[in-house]
C-alpha cells in the first residue's frame, strides 16, 4: 500500500488555473456538438435552438417557471402527467434569469444549462484531481463531455445543474467542508429525485467519519487526521482525499448531515400536502408518468422483448452490452478503492437509473450524473501519451457530436 499526503484545496484563482485545460477542452467538445447540431438541424429544416430549449422536459420546466405548478395533461389511456414531477430549482433559476434580463424563461433554461455544465465540468475535475491527479482530472472531464448523450449537457434540462451540485458536494465532503456539502446536497435534492444519491453519499461519509473518530478515541486507535492509504491498484499519481476521521469538526459534520436531506424531503412533503395524498403523494405523481422503482423488472422485460426477432435482437445485445459495461465500471471503481462517498453516490445513481420503470430511452440520460464511473477510463486514458489520448478524445468527440445531432433531430430525450 502506498500512502500519499492529502493535498489541501488550492486557492480559488489557483484552482481555476489548474482546471483551465479541462474547462477549455470541455468547452471545445461542447462547441463542436452544438455546431454539428446546428448544421444537421438546418439541413433538416429544423431549429437547433428549439430542440435545445423548447421540447420535451424543457417545455415543462419553462411552464413551471412562468406560471407555477398546477398544470396536468390527461392522456387517452388514463395516465395523468403532472408538472409536480419536476423539481423546482431549475424553474426558480429560469424565473430569476427572466426577471433580471430580457430573456424568456426558455432562454433562461439554456443559459443556466450552459453555465451549470461548465460548473459541473469544473467539479468533476476537482474531484478527479483530488483523488487521482491533474491529468486524470482533465481526462475525466473530457470523457464526460464526449458521452453519447453529452448534448443533454447543453439543453435546458436539469442534468447539468444536478451534476454540478453533486460534484461539488462530493468535493466538499472529501475536503472536510461539511456545511458546504450539506448545503449543496440540499440544493441537489431540489433539482432531481436522484438527489437522494448525494444525500446518501454525505450520510455514508458522515457515518464513516463517526466510526473513525470512535476508533481514534480508543487507546490504540489511529489518530484523527491520519493519512488515508492509497490502494495499490490506483497508481502512484493518486492524491488521497482526507481520511474519514479528518472530515471536519463534529458540529460542522452534524450541520452538514442535517442540511443534506432537507431539499428532497421538503419538496416531496410539499407535493404530498398539495395533492392531499400525504408523504407518498410524489410517488402517485410519478406513477401518472409510469415512473417507479421495480428493481429493474420492467427494463429486463423490455430488453427480453428485443430478442423476439433478428433485427431487434441486435438492439437487445447492444443494451445488454451497455448494462454490462456500466456494472463492470462500477466493479472497477470498487476494486480501485475509490473514496466511499463516490462509490455510494455512483451506486445509487446507477441503481435508480437501471432499476426504474421509467422511459427506457431515458436511461443513458439518467446515468449522465454518474461521473465517478468514468474515473477508471480516465486513469487509463491518462496513462497514454498526450498525442494518442488527444486523438482518442477527438475521434470520440466527433462521433458523439454526430450522434447527438442525429438523436435530437429524431426521437430525442423523452
Delimit the domains of the chain by residue range.
19-408
| Per-residue pLDDT at 240 exceeds 80 | no
> How much is the pLDDT for 10?
56
- CA distance linking residue 214 with residue 208, whole number of Å: 10
Q: How far apart are the C-alpha atoms of 402 and 151, rounded to whole Å? A: 10
User: Does 58 have pLDDT greater than 50?
Assistant: yes
Best CA proximity match to 51, nearest among 144, 158, 152: 152
For the segment 260-281, what is each residue's pLDDT rounded down to a tens digit?
999 999 999 999 999 998 888 9
Cα–Cα distance measured from residue 367 to residue 351, given in angstroms and rounded to the nearest whole number: 9
- Residue 124 CA to residue 130 CA, distance in Å, equals 10
Q: Which of 6-15, 229-238, 337-346 has the lowest mean pLDDT?
A: 229-238
**Angle (deg, nearest 10), helices 375-382 and 134-145:** 120
Using only the alpha carbons of the chain, give its radius of gyration: 21
340 to each of 136, 146, 170, 191, 343, how far by Cα in Å? 19, 26, 10, 23, 5
406 neighbors 148 (Cβ within 8 angstroms): no
CB 162 within 8 A of CB 187: no
pLDDT of 370 strictly over 60 = yes
What is the value of pTM for the model shown?
0.90
Q: For residues 336 and 233, what is the distance between their CA atoms, to the nearest angstrom? A: 6
pLDDT for the residue 74? 92
Amino acid at each position: 500500500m502506498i500512502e500519499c499526503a492529502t493535498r489541501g484545496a488550492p486557492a480559488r484563482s489557483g484552482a481555476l488555473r489548474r482546471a483551465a485545460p479541462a474547462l477549455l477542452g470541455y468547452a471545445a467538445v461542447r462547441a463542436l456538438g452544438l455546431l454539428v447540431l446546428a448544421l444537421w438541424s438546418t439541413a433538416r429544416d429544423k431549429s437547433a435552438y428549439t430542440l435545445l430549449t423548447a421540447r420535451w422536459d424543457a417545455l415543462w420546466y419553462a411552464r413551471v417557471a412562468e406560471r407555477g405548478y398546477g398544470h396536468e395533461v390527461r392522456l387517452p389511456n388514463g395516465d395523468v402527467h403532472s408538472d409536480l414531477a419536476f423539481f423546482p430549482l431549475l424553474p426558480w433559476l429560469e424565473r430569476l434569469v427572466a426577471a433580471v434580463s430580457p430573456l424568456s424563461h426558455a432562454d433562461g433554461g439554456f443559459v443556466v444549462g450552459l453555465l451549470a455544465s461548465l460548473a459541473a465540468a469544473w467539479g468533476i475535475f476537482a474531484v478527479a484531481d483530488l483523488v487521482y491527479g491533474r491529468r486524470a482530472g482533465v481526462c475525466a472531464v473530457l470523457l464526460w463531455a464526449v458521452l453519447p448523450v453529452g448534448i443533454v449537457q447543453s439543453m435546458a434540462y436539469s442534468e447539468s445543474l444536478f451534476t454540478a451540485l453533486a460534484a461539488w458536494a462530493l468535493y466538499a465532503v472529501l475536503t472536510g467542508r461539511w456545511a458546504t456539502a450539506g448545503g449543496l446536497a440540499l440544493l441537489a435534492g431540489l433539482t432531481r429525485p436522484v438527489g437522494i444519491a448525494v444525500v446518501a453519499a454525505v450520510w455514508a461519509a458522515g457515518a464513516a467519519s463517526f466510526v473513525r473518530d470512535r476508533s481514534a478515541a480508543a487507546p490504540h486507535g489511529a489518530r484523527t487526521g491520519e493519512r488515508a492509504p492509497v490502494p495499490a491498484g490506483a497508481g502512484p499519481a493518486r492524491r488521497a482525499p482526507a481520511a474519514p476521521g479528518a472530515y471536519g469538526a463534529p458540529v460542522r459534520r452534524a450541520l452538514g448531515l442535517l442540511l443534506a436531506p432537507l431539499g428532497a424531503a421538503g419538496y416531496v412533503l410539499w407535493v404530498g400536502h398539495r395533492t392531499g395524498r400525504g408523504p407518498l403523494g410524489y410517488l402517485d405523481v410519478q406513477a401518472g408518468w409510469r415512473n417507479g422503482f421495480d428493481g429493474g423488472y420492467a427494463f429486463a422485460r423490455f430488453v427480453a422483448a428485443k430478442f423476439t426477432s433478428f433485427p431487434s435482437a441486435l438492439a437487445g445485445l447492444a443494451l445488454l452490452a451497455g448494462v454490462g459495461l456500466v456494472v463492470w465500471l462500477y466493479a472497477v471503481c470498487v476494486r480501485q478503492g475509490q473514496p466511499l462517498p463516490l462509490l455510494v453516490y455512483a451506486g445509487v445513481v446507477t441503481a435508480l437509473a437501471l432499476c426504474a420503470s421509467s422511459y427506457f430511452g431515458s436511461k443513458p440520460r439518467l446515468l449522465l450524473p454518474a461521473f465517478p464511473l468514468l474515473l477508471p477510463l480516465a486513469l487509463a486514458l491518462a496513462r497514454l501519451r498526450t498525442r494518442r489520448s488527444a486523438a482518442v478524445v477527438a475521434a470520440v468527440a466527433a462521433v458523439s457530436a454526430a450522434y447527438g445531432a442525429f438523436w435530437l433531430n429524431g426521437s430525442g430525450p423523452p
